[in-house]
Structure 1
Amino acid sequence: MTAGKLAIGDKVTAVYKTGSYIGEVVDVSGVAKAAVRILAVIEHPTQGNLHQPMDPNVSFFHQRRALAFQEIALMPLSTIEPYGGNVPDYQESLKRALKSEMLKMSDLEAWAKRSLQELEQLQLEYFPN
């Protein structure tokens, strides 16, 4: 989206770092970014080191919090889209986004455990001694 198409008060979705939000435009004076007031969370930010994804043994494992209700953040214009739906309650949206992210991690953990079991079985078949 471009700054010229945004107006103060517009409801939008936007991505900030690794989280996705519903918000309200509060300033469009920038060329590459717009200031957006957070109203709800769509997707909780990703945890860990983004430069070394899936690695739990990095020197600094980032804990990323969702942006707070009514917090204003500069969002890249390229991530901003118009939003026409009802804005959910912030706390409920945060709870839903957090549970969704936790479920993804739980599913990933289950997949990793199952993959390891299959690889161990293959190891026995490949190298029976």
Structure 2
Amino acid sequence: MSFQIGDRVTAEYKTGVYYGEVVEMSTTMKAAVRILAVKEHPTQGDLHNPMDPSVAFFHQRRALSNQEIALMPISTIRLYSGVVPEYQDSLKRALSAQISKLSDMEAWARRSLQELDQLQQEYFPQSN
């Protein structure tokens, strides 16, 4: 798909997803996109070792800033015709959604460990 300067788009940058505006077609592989709002906050941690909290360097990833221009892979860019939310509101919503998702995963992991502990006791009662 080809994009035009001024097109409103959604685009992925590393692990974040943004609403933006195409400002330049850099190459056939990338386009410069001005950030207008945050759709999904970037994931924290090491991308090469997802879900591993004990890596040597646990990356803290900030969302791209309002009006920041970033080179986005063309393959991650999609035309967008909806309403673009205000940047600060979108950042707050995206951050809250990421926190909620991780909190839900934490609760699920705790409950799963409880169930697995019970199963371990049932499977191997003599080991207790």
Normalised TM-score (structure 1): 0.95
SS in 1 for 2:125: coil
Identify the residue that residue 83 of structure 2 maps to in structure 1.
86
Identify the residue that residue 70 of structure 1 maps to in structure 2.
67
What amino acid sits opposite 2:60 in the alignment? Q
SS in 2 for 1:87: coil
- The residue correspondences of 1:41-120 to structure 2 (distance < 5 A) are 41-120=38-117
SS in 2 for 1:51: coil
What amino acid sits opposite 1:125 in the alignment? E
What amino acid sits opposite 1:75 in the alignment? M
Among 5, 8, 17, the alignment partner of 1:8 is 5
Q: Which runs of 5+ in 2 are unaligned?
A: none
Partner Cα separation in structure 2 for residue 86 and residue 127 of structure 1: 57
Partner Cα separation in structure 2 for residue 8 and residue 127 of structure 1: 65
Deviation, 1:31, is 1.5
Deviation, 1:29, is 3.4
State the percentage of identical aligned residues: 71
What amino acid sits opposite 1:59 in the alignment? A
Pair 1:18 & 2:38 matched: no
Deviations 1:76-107 (A, max 9, x none): 00000001011100000000000000011001
Spell out structure 1 runs of 4+ moving beyond 4 A: none
Pair 1:30 & 2:27 matched: yes
How many residue pairs are counted as aligned between the two chains?
126
